[in-house]
Structure 1
Amino acid sequence: MSRERRFSQLDVFTATPLRGNPLAVVHEADGLSDAEMATFARWTNLSETTFLLKPTDEGADYRVRIFTPGGELPFAGHPTLGSCHAWLAAGGRSKHQGQVVQQCSVGLVNVRRDGARLAFAAPALKREPVDDGLLAQVIEALGLPASDLLAACWLDNGPKWLGLRVTSATRLRSLTPDHGRLKSLAKVGLVAAQDGAGAADTQFEVRGFAAPIGIEEDPVTGSLNASLAQWLIGEGLAPSRYVAAQGTAMGRAGRVHIAKEGDTVWVGGDVAPCIEGTVRL
């Protein structure tokens, strides 16, 4: 039997509604089946929909399950920040001084307040080389000349992305991929150093194409920015603190705030509440 549950819809990685990446959050979702969660996520048709549940790990404040229209994710960044914001706004009280601990399929993720923003600690990153044949197919599907590709590697911090470093942010913003071809190849995340035509408050431009999970282009992607930051900072290609723009080509103005402190990369962003109410599930 369906019942009413609290529902929130927020815009993440922006302080201005409608300029970031929207997220749907269902509160007190215990009792919903996997199929019910997946069906509702397909219905919202957002890049991610999350479900807040009681934790099963005593170290966690809450548990979250994260669904795209195409299935469940073990971890994702903008759902982490948005879910934490929604949990706190609904009266959630953390067991831990100064931080919230989220439980998800990759384990426990720490979320802290970074001034007015929330920031999550990036999960450990695994990097792997890319098969040359697959890479050639991907850059052809992207419409990216091989001469504009600087480096490529697999980036895996729960979600797995094919990470590409591109010569020019202007070139990156101009890409019009063949999403039908990408769907059978890989989720692709691209980054380029900002240029004179980009936003003056940012140092990098990012785009994320996720056709294999039913999202042609994700407006702003926390997990991708986390892995790109670990890659770039680890290679000495980015400072320990920077701001990345994402969503520009979609008319959005996402801002992802990166800070490496010790061995931890923190990924932060603003959250703008948009809708509060109830949903019958």
Structure 2
Amino acid sequence: MTPYFVYDVFTEKPFGGNQLAVIPDARTIAEEDLQKVAREFNFSETTFVYPAEDKANTAKVRIFTPTMEIPFAGHPVIGTACALAQKGASENMVLELGVGPMTCKSDGKTASFEATQPLEILCEPDPALVADALSINTGDLLFHAHPPVMASLGLAFTITEVKSRDILARTTPDIAAIRKGNARYPSGWDFAQFVYARDGNTLYARMFAPLDNIPEDPATGSASATTAALLARIEDHDLDLTIHQGVEMGRPSQIMVSTSSKGITVAGQARRVMKGYLLLG
């Protein structure tokens, strides 16, 4: 029997935030079963923890969505760091991810990580197509800071600002338009849409990745980090942002993001809500 835990991440309360399954010792799971296990949980991500390849590090962590393995995502790092801290790991840890080693801190209830990989600007998708993908009008988009931009810190998102929270609340994914966007602008993440409305240093956001079996994500740390990096580059100064996500889903989340010359720091809380065993034998 292989133990697992389920966490609600970027929240302090059960049934908020983003769900995450953590398998704290995945050595007994066959390679060909990893994707099947992630699909069985059907959360936006599941993490599989292994001994670190470099003994100086804490652990190796592999991250799977229901459809693929990905090199990096925010809430899996926060939740896994909390899980490891609760199992006795040092508060200061280094997790080996697909994007390389990542420095994390956790006291078991809160966690933070520092993303030092460079921001990549992949393209500027057609705004009309992005609006179609979000089921809104091109006139609902805000271009003052930036047009829709596909950017990445290891996972690509199309990042779009809209004019108001009312417009944000009306967004919903249009599958046909997202398929068209994915064909025109291919990336490792299938034309995933991170859309936000801004009020100073507070962002209200939603994220849709239906082609990856994620109709909507209640908290997306990697997209939040990428958006902070993008805005800091555009505005040419460091930022401290609070990002609220998942409100429309009834799973409110709060993500804290700060930028510096060293990288992007993402912080949040995680609450363990379930535990059990995988019966794969």
TM bin (shorter chain):
0.7 to 0.9
Equivalent residues in 2 for 1:257-276, closer than 5 Å? 257-276=256-275
Partner secondary structure for residue 95 of structure 2: strand
Match of 2:186 in 1: none
Cross-structure match for 2:252: 253
Residues 121/115 of structure 1: CA separation in 2 closer, same or farther (3 Å cut)? same
Unaligned runs of 5+ in 1: 196-201
Cα distance per residue 1:192-216 (max 9 Å; x no partner): 1149xxxxxx711111111221111
Q: What is the CA deviation profile of residues 153-191 of structure 1, one whole-angstrom value per residue up to 9, with x for unaligned ones?
A: 111111111111222122112212223542453111112
Q: 1:205 to 1:237 in 2, by over 3 A?
A: farther
Pair 1:117-2:110 in alignment: yes
Structure 1 residue 16 and structure 2 residue 1: aligned? no
Aligned identity (percent) is 31
What's the CA shift for 1:9?
0.3
Structure 2: which amino acid aligns with 1:176? T
CA distance in 2, matches of 1:225, 1:237: 18
Structural mapping, 1:77-92, within 5 Å: 77-91=74-88
Q: Distance in 1 between matches of 2:158 and 2:168?
A: 15
Other structure's SS at 2:103 match: strand
Counterpart in 1 of 2:187? Answer: none
Residue 222 of structure 2 corresponds to which residue in structure 1? 223
Mapped pair 1:126 → 2:120: yes
Structure-1 residue corresponding to 2:193: 188
The more displaced of 219-228 and 142-151 is: 142-151
Q: Say whether 1:143 aligns with 2:135.
A: yes
Match of 1:235, SS state, is helix
Given the superposition, is the C-alpha separation of residues 193 and 269 from structure 1 closer, same or farther in structure 2, using an over 3 Å criterion?
same
Aligned partners of 2:123 and 2:151 also within 8 Å: no
Aligned length: 266
8 Å CA contact 1:10, 1:271 repeated in 2:
yes
Q: TM-score, normalised by structure 1?
A: 0.87
Q: CA RMSD in A?
A: 2.2
Q: Does 1:60 align with 2:67?
A: no
Higher mean C-alpha deviation, range 138-147 or range 155-164: 138-147
Kindly provide the amino acid, as one letter, of the partner of residue 109 in structure 1: M
